[in-house]
Structure formats: C-alpha cells, structure tokens
Structure 1
Amino acid sequence: MKIISKYLKLLPVFLLVLVLTGCSDDDDNNTPTTVTVVDVAVANGFTSLAAALQATDLVTTLQGPGPFTVFAPTNEAFDDLLTATGLDLANLSTSEEELVRQILLNHVIVGTEVPSSAITTTGIYANTGADAPGNNNLSIYARVNADNNNTVEINGGDGTTSAPRNGADVTTPDVPADNGVIHVINKVLGLPTVVDMALANPEFGSLVASLTTAGQPDFVSILSTANGTSPAPFTVFAPTNAAFQTLLDSNMMWNSPADIDSALLTAVLQHHVLAGQNVQSGDLNQSGTTSPETLQGQTIDITLPGTNGNIADVVDGAGNEAGIRAVDVQTSNGVIHVVNAVLLPAS
C-alpha cells in the first residue's frame, strides 16, 4: 500500500492532542473522549472532505455512534471532482447539495466496520448510506487485486491498471477511530450504474465481453441510462464467467461470444434484463413464483425459496433451470442478481 503524504505521519500527534484536550475537559466527570471518523479526517488534513461534510450537513451524522466504514478521498481527489464538475462547495444550489450529499454517503458503510483484512480477492459487497431506486441503498464493491500489488480496489479501482473505471484505489487502509475505520482512497467514487458494477467485478468479464461484442446494440449506453429516464431502471440477471463457459462448451463452433450468431446473442442478453423495474429479492413472491417480462419479450419464472443452495430458482424462456446465487447488488439505475447459468429464450 502506498502511504499518503505527510498528514498520516502526524496522525498520532493530532490524536494525542485531541485525546488530551478531551480528557482535560472531562476530568470532573471522568467521561471518556470519543475520537470520531470526522475528527480523524480533520486530523489527517482532509480539508476538502471536511468542507464537503460541512456543506451537506453530514458532520453530525458521522459523529454518531456508528460504526462507520469511511472511504476518504484525498484533497487532490476532491479538487479533481470540483474541477471536472464546476461545483463550488461554498455556493451549492439545492440540487447540487443533494448530489454532493449522495456522493459523500456513497463513501460510507453505515452500521459495519470493515477492516481491510475482511476484503478478499473474490471481493465483498456492502450497502452504503446513499439513496438508490426503490428506497434502497447503493451497493459498494471492494476486492484485493493480486495483479495490482494486492491493492484494495473500490468499485473496480481507479483504472490505472485496467480499463477506465468509476472507482478508486485504497492508498492507506485501516486508519482507526472510536466510531469506525477510515480507508484513504485516491479518487472520489461516482454513483455506479449497472455497467459500472459489472465492470468492477472480474467474475462478470464474459458478460461484459458479450455486451460489447461487435454487432450488438450499444448495451453499454442503454444500461447506463439514468434512473427515471426510460428504459431505466433495470433489473439484471448477471451470469458468471463459468456460466458463459458452459454455454460456449455447448456448441463446438463457439469459442467466444463473437462466434455466436449476432441476433441470437442479442436475444440471449436481452433475456437477462428487466426494463423499467428495480426488482430486489424482497419484492418477489417469497413463497411462490414471480414471472416478469424481460427486455427480449419473453418471461422468466423466479421461485422462492430456492433449492440446491440457490437463493431462488429460475426457469428461462426455453424451460431451462438456473439458480440465483447472490442478490441485490444495488446501483444508481438498477439492481443486479447473480445467476449460475445463461438464460435462454424459447426461440
């Protein structure tokens, strides 16, 4: 891990001053001093983060009991954001203040303290404090990238070692506070779309390759449509790499998605998407079958509870069975559920 500037070197001194000052104030009643994630951020010299928290009335929130996991962008990262967007923290309109507030909340896991040791090479998902469609909270994805010096990458990383992403790298992990932990990151996290989350997780590499295969509709643009604008929001059933490999192995002429007939591949991919719907697992019939219509035009059957270790069972348009293995990866324009087989339409 890279070490961030001189501020972190001064952290013990700042914290000691904070603690001693608090103890002096509370000597009469012996009340212990609490050093919150806000105090630690200020002590580290993250003035831009502190100003943004102040401008959006989030200081009091993060001074609460928590616990919080905060991914704290550096001043340089905030400067890049402000330059790119033209935002002025001292003069935000109502809509701009809400945007900045949601961006900041997307850096905070509320109610859970996640140390870097809990983040694996396969990755973990968690919910942030930011709002998402359907009164849900945005998800965040963190993983250790063994190909990037075991750097912890958030939402796919900062793009320096792979395709450009809407994420960041952790440069300094595990800065402690009494009400949580801070991980320093080198970029401000954007509000992720279903495309961003698919790009972030290498387990969806085959899905991304299929969506971007020559001759396909511009699925990236379609699935990046902002929430509230048709055809968003989306519910995406995302097959794993192993699921796609099973599909390719079913035909000796198929070595990659590009070998599949273009119209067939389009229909298959559309059969994994519900348009205009943000369907989380809790929205399904919890003791029966739900049969939504896909973007391709045919329905799939989703049955709860699942069998054979599946959270839910799925029957595609062709009558094949699949299982939902992970649910409710929430993005700003839809939700992703992970399936263990490629869903095929009837024709």
Structure 2
Amino acid sequence: MKKKNLFLRSTKTLYTLLFVAMSTLIFSACTEDVEPEPENNIVETLTDLGGYDSLLKYVSVYPDLVSILNSASEKTLFAPNNAAFASLLETPGFPQDIRDINPDIIKGVLSYHVVPGQEILEAELSGELVTAYNGETIKVNNGTLETGATNPEITLGDTDIKTTTGIIHETNSVLIPPSVGASLTPILGTVSGTLLLGANFSDLAIAIQRVDAARTERGDTPFAAILANRQGSYTVFAPINQVFEGAGIDPETANVGFLEAVILNHVISGENLSSTDIAAQLQGGNNILTSLGGDVTVSPTEFQGNPTLSIGGAAVVSPDNVTGNGTVHAVAGFVSSNSNSYTTVLLGSQGSAEASFYDAVQNATKGYAASRDASATVDFAYYWGANNLNSLGSIDSEDLHTVFNSVDLPIEGIFATRNATRFQVTELGAADFDAIVTNAQVSGIANSELTSQPDATQLVEGNVVAFKLDDARGGLFGLIKIAEVNDTNGTGSITIDVKVIADAF
C-alpha cells in the first residue's frame, strides 16, 4: 500500500490558505483604492461641506453663474472660503458691505474663479489657466495661485474635491482678475473708488468709463484718475442709478458729450465739503458753489419728509460718504447750474404766413417782412427744399437762398447780420434732449458733434440737431428738437424745441 506524502499534502493546504489570504488582501486593497463616484453637483457639494456660505450667497445672485457651475461640462472651481471673503472686506478702502459694491464687478470677480473645459487635479496644476468669462489667466507659483493682484501667493486648502459637475479646490483668498486688480488698487479709499465701485452708482460708473475713453483718446486726463488723486480734494454730488432710469438715459448708449457735461457739473475741485460745511454756508438763504461745469445753487429742502440739502435742484439722499481725498453726497437728481433757456418755436416754410426766421440769441421768431429791417438779426430759417424736404438753413446757405428766391423772397442784401450758423444732426433721442438741464450739457453735446453743415436737412419728428453760431454772434452752442412737422409742400410748418445756453439772454 502506497503511503500518502503528508509533507506534500500539508504544503498544498498551506499554499491554498496563502492564496486565499493574499487574494483577500489584494481584493481588499483594490476595494479601498476605488473612490465612490460623486453624487452631488458643485453647488450641492459646497453646501454640504460648509464654510462656503459667502461664496454661495454671492453666486446665487447671478443665475447664469449657478447654471454654469451646475452644468454637465467639465470645469475646475477655485472656491474661496468664508475667511477669504472676510479678509477681502477688511482691505483698507474697500466697501465694508459687499452689497454696496457694483454688481458687475462682483460678477467679474466670481467668474474669474471658474476654469472651463477641464478638471485639473492639484498635482496637475501648472502653467496658465483660462477663466470662463474674461479670458484672463490664473498663474500657478510653487503650489500657490498667482493672480496678478495684491496677493501674489494664494494658498490652497482642501483640494481635489470631486463633484458631478467638476472639481473644487478651496482657496484661502479671493482671486482678483489682473485687470480689476490693476484698476482697483489705485482707487481704493478715494472718491474715484466710491463712484466706480458703488452699487448705487453703477450707471454713473459706466458714464465715467465711457467719457474717460473719449478723454484719453483726445489727450485729456480721465476723470477716474483725477478723482483718485490722493493729494487732491473733491466734493462730488453723485446721481444714483434711479436718476438715470427716471430720465430714460442709458449710460451705455447716451451721447458722450452729454455724459461728460453731466459729470463736470457734479464735481467741485479743491474743496472737501461735508453736508455740515455746506449747510453752514447757507446763512438762511441760498449759497452758490462752483463746480467744474459752472455755478450750482445750494438751498434747504426735504426728501421723503426729512430735511436735507438741495444741490442745483437735486435733493441729497445720502450725505457725507467720506473718502481719503474727498466726500461724496448721493443725490436724487441731476445737478443743474444756470438752467439753459428753452422754448417751443413754430416756424413756417417759405411763402407761408408763419414766421420762417429764428434769432437764437434773442430767442425770437421773425417773419420775412420783419426780417427786412436793418436792425433785425436772424440766425437760421425753415424752408422746404425740392430735394432735401424739411430743412433748417443758415442765412449763408445757398440752398436756402435758392428756395426763397424761387418764391420771389430774395434773401441777399436784406439782413444786417448774415450769420454762418452750422448744424449737425445728432444721435440723441427726444428723451435725451428733454433731460438736458445745464449750460455745460448743451455746449458739451453740440461741441462734440463738430457742427459743420450750413443746413440740417430731411428732418423728421424726434430728430435732435446741434447748432453753433459764428463768432460775430458769440459762438454760442444750442440744440433743437424737431417736435412736429406739417409737411404741406411750400406752406407747411415745423415746431421745434430750442435749448441754448442761458448766458445768451
């Protein structure tokens, strides 16, 4: 009988046990290395983690940002924690409540934290990463983030947090886009910073930016730079957003000359005046302050039942916003200096019974017969041209002469002053014209139109025309709104609203 080899039997048993044990260990190890698939999107994950309440609150204001974070496409989010936002608000000169900051700036900063199209693990962070909205880059510097703002080393907290809609890296600072950082740092704590960052002044900020682009192009110092001068001293009466909205003025599209004139009329240079300082100067009556655009009258008034100041007819609604180089007073209206005179003038075309001629200096209409007087002065006339339809023409206009001669009303040799008025049809709408209240606005807009034509032709209701008188008539600027056109050929009439600078009267 063959004996069983006990050694071999026990060895096989041992091998079997070892194999089972190793398989179990290997299986266990593999099981431990496999991470569970994430179940929540970015917003849900941040909510569950806690510590990101500020980020979630600010992002929630912008539904399109929430949609981007929760979209199925790959992305990387650098998520500032609560401490990061608290630190930002402690920056000297920065508004203490983020709700007081221009919403467009907040949205731009938030969007700078999202890198679209890729989920980047911490170990892969290198080079430059393009952000979602503005194309600016986030630079990695020895494991930290370099944004080009005041803090060149933004450290990371928890990293590689996976979600169903992207990957999250916690940051211990708020990332500031380089373009914002470059423009933000010089203005913090100045009048310029209050106007450009303030949520209540976002329309004014757009106006300043558009005007500054024009000023830079022509070689003038931008308003933002002037009002950021820490050695200067300024008092600004700043119209709140509701003023632009109420007047129907869109700062994105309004005439730049008009906007520049508005800004000039709201700034006092060389004096930092509190509401108490201004009230003390009233001495029981009105007081005159000189802005960059002209004199403004200060008087006591009420706003919503509370006593306050009226600055050029605009009630002060939030006084004494003090900065390092001046004070900003929020006002509920456009500040008016010497109000320009305006009227409604009815002009008849050649051969009609209505007065055809207009004296812009005296704000008077005159008929053909009255205009023959040697002492008469006229600046332009209304006529119906065969080719150019409803027209306003300077006295030296060949077209105007031709038309009046054709009806046996010759102009040559009649007028004591043959003014070379020049016109330009503007891009202003009727609402823009109606909102103009100051001399500076009239001259600023008309001057910006570079008036050059002896005729303003093919006029229709709602057109706004700029005009300039020649030097013999004072070189005065004015604006005309075409209110109504009666287009009866040869005997029709036109109704115009005229605004000229008040000093003309």
TM-score by length of 1: 0.43
Larger RCO (CA under 8 A, 6+ residues apart): 1
